[in-house]
Amino acid sequence: MSEHMQDQAMKKAFVIGFPISHSKSPIIHNHWLSQHQITGIYEKIAVDPKDLKDFIRQFKQQNYQGGNVTIPHKEAVLDYVDVIHPTAKRLQAANTLWLQNGQIHADNTDGYGFLANIDQNKPYWHQNDPVKQALILGAGGASRPIIDGLLERGFDIILTNRTRERSNAIVELFTKLGYQDRIKAIDWQDRNKAMTGQSLLVNTTALGMSGQPKLDIDLSNLPKTALVTDIVYTPLKTEILLQAQERGNPNIDGLGMLLHQAVPGFEKWFGLCPKVSEHLRNLVLNA
């Protein structure tokens, strides 16, 4: 088989960001490719913001089926695609691109990944909950898809961030989408008081991550039944999760969100829906 024909048979996907060296996505996708014996490759590519438009417009010529988009391109990429799916449109950010009938499609699977992680680890976690009430710490890019997913599941949201303006901007975004009665912002200093009556507590800040300042939090007011989760996974057991564990609260680490958000993209590019397994978790942890 000629090199050109081989290249034609080989399905390719990418993750782009700037920088990109830290990305764990290739471990995930290349594991699934080899597990399912698919002739394909998933690679990380550093794309400078000034080159983003050219890269997006030209990737299909290089036989890519699509790919993932990470910081700082998640918002900007929407200017260069053909079809923006509803979740990406609502959040004004995409993390997954694919080709369909020659057009570039964009969607956001972060909220799906967040919920699928909890569904896998704590099935039925909110089915018996009379009050669906979540306290979200942090109003950066990561919090928007999580809030979006939780609103879809019927949760009411209290949002708090060190800078109040950022929380207000997110509340405004979801108010415009018709959720005005279901999301409100509070000041950061009121976060511990706001734990009362919550059924879910989510840390979406980088606080508590290796090399970052500590997340100063007191769970005393949180009901013992509330589920606690952190999207940080370095370290795997963050301060907030250790506190939750000590009190006997159910808790889930953030690594599963990364694994699950990868599933829809892989299915689009390589035509098969992969499973998130313990083996894959360990591969990423040991990388």
Q: Which residues are catalytic, by number?
A: 74
* Side-by-side strand order, sheet with 83-84: 40-46, 11-17, 64-69, 96-100, 103-107, 83-84
Compute the Cα dihedral for 169, 175, 177, 179 and give only its sign: positive
- Give the CA diameter of the chain: 67
- Among candidates 151, 166, 156, which has minimal Cα distance to 111? 151
| N residues, the chain | 287
Phi, psi of 17 (to 5 degrees): -170, 180
Amino acid (1-letter code) at residue 187:
D
